[in-house]
Chains A and B, each alone.
Chain A
Amino acid sequence: MKGGGMKPFEYFEANTVKEATQLLSNYGEKAQILAGGIDLIPRIRKGDIKTEYVVNIQKIPDLDHIGPDGNQGLKFGAMVKLHSLENLKAIQEKYPIFYEAIHQITSVQAKYMGTAVGNLCVATPASDVATALYALGAELKIAGVKGERTEPIEKFYLDYLRTSLKRGEMVTGVSLPKPSPGAGTSFLNLARTRSDIAKMCVAVALTVQDGICREVRIAMGAAAPTLFRATKAEGALTGQKASLQAIAAAAKTASEETRPITDLRSTAEYRKEMANVLVRRALEKALEKAKA
């Protein structure tokens, strides 16, 4: 319900990561980071988030850096906007599912304002961007008052809307590993309209060698309280001949690993079934790309 706009809060502009983490440490759960704001501001207005302190990180230098990392991968900072990532050739060519996940976001304004890191930190399992990064094996750079650490995205999500960030910590960047040579990737989702949050979201990466599936990553979004990899399905497919039957079986297993809910966007039954369909279709597409 609309209130008198947002409830009052105190506002800080951090000039360094150190300042930001110190503030976050001081105020703990009462503080929120302002990066792009497209998720935060509406939620404060609606009363979904009650915050007393807002820490603006937009002015911290170097958080908008994008570039290669030491290991032939790619890294980008917490303030890098979705729009910048979408238009980067390196991403279009080397991480096409990341590109696709961003590109299919319909609001151009949201892509200019919103950051990829901000999107990840909302920790909704229905994030297309997070699902793609999950399949790509992204790593998050985290800074806190006690120093820095790195966390693979697979450890980052603890529960619905909950990350592994401790008090005083913030994500300062993401690094993507060097893409596996010859890997085929695919991203697929279903939603009520082009602009809606996904009902089901799947990103896969498949490496095939001599006709055998060597590396299989199946990231499932909107399929459980957090993002997860369908490890049973992955295990079932790894080492198998790369065939449509093997893929179909893996997809069925992946579907069984889901714990979807019924909400106003879809039903648990439909989501479970679509997990099967999307994983199958995504793996088939990935296989085509891997072969090529």
Chain B
Amino acid sequence: MKKEIANFEINGRPYEVIVTPNMTLSELLRDSLDLTGTKHACEVGQCGSCTVLVEGKPTLSCSTLAIAVRDKAILTIEGLSQGRPLHPLQQAFIDSGGIQCGFCTPGAIMMAKALLDENPNPTRQEIKEGLGGNLCRCTGYVKIIDAVLMAAETMRKGGK
């Protein structure tokens, strides 16, 4: 199986990584680049804990071949604050109490970002629908949805 050096753009930075075709994007992030914020909880695309944004689109990195997304802009949880203090979503998750064990949190935040990028003023129901692919075992989702609502309001008011 061929090993090759591929270029990746992750969180705005370029990386050269040795990849094999059978490497998933989540394995590349976690094992090759030490970006361990993206989690493996099921690796069958069912739980959403591995969600990252590829060209702004919510993507299950456990079900994506790394080699297939080289040269595409990838955003992970580590890149969300972009040099600021926290992104409004991150702050909202803290303030709402929407984090317990935190294992689902990065995936939920990345999915919520994609949701708010497309729909800056979602209803509670729309947020539920937006998070349908993100499992959480701790929170019962209530305060996660609260967090997304809070963040949406902050962002609409121009909060950064």
Residue A37 contacts which of B43, B65, B131 (CB distance < 8 angstroms)?
A: B65
* Residues of A bordering B, CB below 8 Å: 2, 5-11, 13, 34, 37-38, 41-42, 44-46, 54, 56, 58, 105-110, 112-113, 194-195
Known: A5-B27, A8-B20. A108 touches B129 (CB 8 A): yes
Query: How far apart are the CA atoms of A42 and B44 in the complex, in Å?
Result: 5
Taken together as a complex, chains A and B put the C-alpha atoms of A58 and B68 apart, in Å, by 8
Q: Are B2 and A108 in contact (CB under 8 A)?
A: no
Asked if A113 meets B59 with Cβ closer than 8 Å, knowing A42-B44, A107-B132, the reply is yes
Cα distance A144–B51 in the bound complex, in angstroms: 35
Cα–Cα, bound, A106→B134 (Å): 9
Q: Is the CB of A8 within 8 A of B133?
A: no
- Whether the Cβ atoms of A41 and B63 lie closer than 8 Å is yes
Query: In the bound complex, do residue A37 and residue B68 qualify as a contact, i.e. CB atoms below 8 Å apart?
Result: yes
Q: B1 touching A37 by the CB < 8 A rule?
A: no
- Number of residue pairs across A and B with beta carbons under 8 Å? 95
Of B2, B63, B67, most A-chain CB atoms within 10 Å: B63
Task: Report the separation of the CA atoms of residues A105 and B97 in the bound assembly, to the nearest whole angstrom.
Answer: 28
**Chain B residues within 8 Å of chain A by Cβ, number:** 32
CB-defined contacts of B23 to chain A, threshold 8 Å:
5
Asked if A54 and B21 sit within 8 Å, CB to CB, the answer is yes
Question: Are A11 and B64 interface neighbours, CB within 8 A?
Answer: no
Residues of B within 8 A of A (CB): 1-2, 20-24, 27, 43-46, 48, 51, 57-60, 62-65, 67-68, 111, 114-115, 129-133
Enumerate chain A residues within 8 angstroms of B48, measured Cβ to Cβ: 107, 109
The 9 closest A-B pairs by CB, nearest first: A107-B133, A106-B132, A11-B21, A8-B1, A42-B44, A6-B22, A41-B63, A109-B133, A109-B58
- Are A10 and B68 in contact, CB atoms less than 8 angstroms apart? no
Which residue of the partner chain, among B58, B62, B130, contacts A41 with CB atoms under 8 Å? B62
User: Across the interface, do A41 and B2 meet the contact criterion of CB distance under 8 Å?
Assistant: no
A148, B130: Cα distance in complex, Å: 39
What residues of B have a CB within 8 angstroms of the CB of A5 in the complex? 22-24, 27
Whether B24 and A110, one on each chain, are in contact in the complex, defined by CB atoms closer than 8 angstroms, is: no
Chain A CB within 10 A, most for which of B1, B22, B59: B22
Cβ–Cβ contact A10 & B2, under 8 A = yes
Once the chains are docked, how many angstroms separate the CA of A72 from the CA of B65? Answer: 38
The chain B residue sitting closest to A59, CB to CB, is B68
Cross-chain contact A195 with B130 (CB below 8 angstroms): no
